[in-house]
Amino acid sequence: MIRSLFLISGLLLTGLACKTPNSSDNDHTRLHDIWALQSMKQKDLPESAKGKPYIEIHVKEGKLMGNGGCNQLFGNIAFEGKNGFQVSNVGSTKMACPELNVESEFMQLLQAVRSYELRELSLFLMGADGEELLRLKKVD
């Protein structure tokens, strides 16, 4: 009986020691979705670009894909801690498009992102200094 009690106590302690962090602590799976670009550096997009640039985040695969407004884009993503988020190896197709300035800035800002914040259906991507670089909205 005492032996069983020690065994059960040991298993419980082992289970508690090996417990994974609370899912809300580092749960980036909420980002696994399609996000349409709303603004860059807190400036609304020009009418001609609205609804075109978007990203699709694949958390488990560590991949990002989307469209910059004309060209398809792709890259890798990494998470650190609760809100750390970094995009690397961003590339795109090379189609000739009449208005590439929004797309170019979008891709540059993606690579400068260091953290994120989710508020309801909006995703805010911030730079190293905490400045809001991109604001995106969840697409259904």
The pLDDT of residue 2? 56
In a domain, 6, yes or no: no
Tell me if 75 sits within 8 A of 86, measured CB to CB.
Answer: no
In a domain, 8, yes or no: no
Count of structural domains within the chain: 1
- What stretches of the chain adopt beta strand conformation (E)? 34-40, 43-44, 54-58, 63-67, 72-80, 84-92, 115-119, 122-126, 132-138
In a domain, 94, yes or no: yes
pTM: 0.77
In a domain, 9, yes or no: no
The pLDDT of residue 3? 53
In a domain, 17, yes or no: no
DSSP state of 19: P
Q: What are the beta bridge partners of residue 92? A: 73
Query: Residue 46: which domain range?
Result: 23-138
In a domain, 15, yes or no: no
Which residue in 37, 57, 55, 35 sits closest to 46, CA to CA?
A: 37
Q: How far apart are CA 50 and CA 6, in angstroms?
A: 64
Average pLDDT over the chain reads 83
- List of residues 6+ apart from 119 with CB closer than 8 A: none
pLDDT confidence band for 135 (50 / 70 / 90): very high
pLDDT confidence band for 138 (50 / 70 / 90): very high
In a domain, 38, yes or no: yes
Interval 28-86: pLDDT, tens: 888 889 999 999 999 988 777 766 899 999 999 999 999 998 899 999 999 999 999 99
CATH of the domain at 117: 2.40.128.270
The pLDDT of residue 24? 43
In a domain, 5, yes or no: no
Burial of 46 (0-12, 13-18, 19+ CB in 10 A): exposed
